[in-house]
Structure 1
Amino acid sequence: MHQQAAETLDEAFERLHRTGSEFDDKLSNHGPMAVEALVHSGQWEAVPAWLDVYTTRLEPVARPTERIARDGWREALGDRARDGDWIALFTDEIAEQPWREVLALWWPRLLPGLPGGATHGVIRVGHAVRALLEAGESPVRLAEFAHAMAYFASSNQALPELPRLAGGRTPFDALDAVPPLPAGEKGHINRRLDFLAGWDRWLTATLSVRTADTPEEAQSLLADTVHAATLRYLRRGHGNAVMNVHGVTAPNAVLRVLPALPTELWIPSYTAAWATSSAVFAVYMAPEDGPEPPAPAADAAAAMESACAHGDEHVIKLADTAADVHARSDDARALSAGVLAAGLVRPLRE
């Protein structure tokens, strides 16, 4: 990463660490995720001005209230009121051992609750890990990792426990088989996800995907999951243009974390990411395909430049993931996803 770009990223993270993980009654602070995506894509010069607009609605960072005991963390899991306590815990953790060891210890503890906070906790971790892997360690990047892991912990919410995947479908075919939520089931994402526990149609479709027998297969199937989710957004994302973004970006966040994890954690990571993507689309996608998707951007750089000009944090994150999919698959349809989102979501400065 260009030195000035890395410095811009650190300055942005430092500025954002004075703000809370959420604002306006459980809306997630997307600032750290969006600025990392902009810097990664070469749009780092736009970051300070983007933050000037975005940070006006944020709230101060939560302060610690009570120390979380190392053997009592389960009681604080999923408690958003203790975000400041989780930040303090992970700050201590990374001061005592390398961040990869902290990640390896906590990832299996937090993974079952991946859907919590509408998946923003794991998405923030994915961006923080990519920053560390690409730009290297700095005190501010390590602090962002601590903040990201803290939000993953404080927003944790588990999906219904699933039996072992045992189907033969590809992620593309299995995601196409996932049914939309019945029209009468509405409300906050937590209520929608709770409905899935007793919905056999969703369970059958979700379990129909291929299982992974090796870490390498898990990585490949997870990449296919992200690809399939990007194409699903093109067809059904208009059901809720913002919320369906997370069915794409959450599994990609997990894919970004894999290289920093022990390989024995790759298979459960794929399973959790797949189930979460399936769940998000089930509860938010449109029941029917939308109009013909827009033409793709000329290339990934153009897609990110356009997303940056639009300014909405979800559009930026979706274009960032679409660029990853295009780089892996050369499927130009992926670059249409950000274009579609930009047409459906209100611009930041409107």
Structure 2
Amino acid sequence: MDTTGVLDEALERLHTTGPEFDDWLSNHGPMAVEALVRRGEGGGVHRWLDRYTTRLEDRPASGDAIRDDAWADALGDPRRLGDWLDHFDRLLVADPREPWRAVLATWWPRLLPGIAAGATHPVIRVGHAVVGLRAEENAPRLRELAHGLGYWAARYQPLPADLALVSSPHAAAEALRAVPPVADQSRGIVHRLDQLTELPDWPTARDVSGPDDVPGRLTELVDAAVRYYATHAHGSAVMLVHAATAPNAVLRTLPDLPRALWEPGLAAAWSASAAVTAAYRPAGPAGAAHPGSASAEELFARAAAHGDEHAIKLADTVLDVAARHPEDVVARSAALRATELIDPL
């Protein structure tokens, strides 16, 4: 638990800003500060924010309220971003009628088919918000969940409806390597995702037999995506981060969701990870950077000093993998690779 109040102070600073800037870039501030505080780097958070917030824009104004009986009409409409933020602020902070876990349980299945929204940043932001709320419930953390859900609703983006699912290898690592790249990688992620025609059908190919299987399968996927990043990050050192952090956000959220929602979460997490992999897959792998004797904790501290929000988020996920596999050099090399390839803040 953050006994210093740094996280809540940081979130209050960030909640005057919007989830996006420069038209479509995602505000990573809340995700990064949650990871920094939880991983023991809270002392530098406000200095980090002083640099990071110079690029951000004000929170968007609201117009027409989202109606409880007509919310679907506004789903996926980025022009309603301010309305969606206000809607979830009302549900979670201003006029709550249910606990936050009940609100999350209602909206998770509504939003999950659009997990590709905002290049998967909304679901990642929700995952960090849930981790913060699990440690302590208060207004800044509830409002952070509201911002994450509102951002997700406004940018809701299903993958192509005619996407074919084809038989895949049984291991997540093999399935990721089997993901075919999209044909044209010359533009942004929306253009790339629109080209998707097929993905390996990994979760159903693994014959998930019930909710008890889901945490292990998600863990396998996160581990595989981190290792994939170590050797394929040159495809896009920034964007391929999300192939690991999006499924990790779903994994982190599971304990606060009804078990009936776990299996759909696994399928959506795979779709998100595989879609990002297809969008930014390079022609071939490269050698993984060797971290030497540096521990995952030391590599996270290096990412914090480097300052880039993507490097911080990836190093945070690498720490989760390292906790399961302390001797996994390839996973640790992923954190090092991010600081090598991504420009520092």
The CA deviation string for residues 252-282 of structure 1, in whole angstroms up to 9 with x for no partner, is 0111110100001000000000111011011
Equivalent position SS for 1:92: helix
Alpha-carbon distance between aligned partners in 2 of 1:210 and 1:102, rounded to the nearest angstrom = 31
Alpha-carbon distance between aligned partners in 1 of 2:56 and 2:285, rounded to the nearest angstrom = 35
Higher alpha-carbon deviation: 161-170 or 13-22: 161-170
Q: TM-score, normalised by structure 1?
A: 0.93
Question: What's the CA shift for 1:147?
Answer: 0.8
Instruction: Tell me what 1:271 maps to.
Output: 267
Instruction: Tell me what 1:260 maps to.
Output: 256
Instruction: Tell me what 2:61 maps to.
Output: 63
Counterpart selection for 1:339 from 336, 339, 344: 336
Higher alpha-carbon deviation: 43-52 or 320-329: 320-329
Higher alpha-carbon deviation: 91-100 or 22-31: 91-100
* 1:209/1:245 CA distance change after superposition, 3 Å: farther
Question: What's the CA shift for 1:301?
Answer: 1.8
Alpha-carbon distance between aligned partners in 2 of 1:164 and 1:102, rounded to the nearest angstrom = 31
Q: Which runs of 5+ in 1 are unaligned?
A: none
Instruction: Tell me what 1:157 maps to.
Output: 157
Instruction: Tell me what 1:79 maps to.
Output: 77
Q: Does 1:328 align with 2:328?
A: no
The CA deviation string for residues 256-314 of structure 1, in whole angstroms up to 9 with x for no partner, is 11010000100000000011101101110211111342325622321211001000000
Whether the 8 Å contact between 2:211 and 2:259 is mirrored in structure 1 is yes
Alpha-carbon distance between aligned partners in 2 of 1:251 and 1:116, rounded to the nearest angstrom = 14
Instruction: Tell me what 2:113 maps to.
Output: 112
Matches within 5 A, 1:145-294: 145-161=145-161, 169-182=170-183, 184-196=184-196, 199=197, 202-204=198-200, 209-294=205-290
Question: What's the CA shift for 1:212?
Answer: 1.6
Q: TM-score, normalised by structure 2?
A: 0.94
Equivalent position SS for 1:83: helix
Equivalent position SS for 1:96: coil
Question: What's the CA shift for 1:82?
Answer: 1.2
The CA deviation string for residues 90-141 of structure 1, in whole angstroms up to 9 with x for no partner, is 112122210000000000000000011000000000000000112x101111
Instruction: Tell me what 1:18 maps to.
Output: 16
Aligned residues: 340
Q: Does 1:312 align with 2:313?
A: no
Alpha-carbon distance between aligned partners in 2 of 1:29 and 1:275, rounded to the nearest angstrom = 23
Equivalent position SS for 1:3: coil
Structure 2 counterpart of 1:288, which letter?
Answer: G
* 1:88/1:341 CA distance change after superposition, 3 Å: same
* 1:232/1:11 CA distance change after superposition, 3 Å: same
* Identity rate, percent: 49
Equivalent position SS for 2:199: helix
Q: Which runs of 5+ in 2 are unaligned?
A: none
Structure 2 counterpart of 1:115, which letter?
Answer: A
CA-atom RMSD in angstroms? 1.7
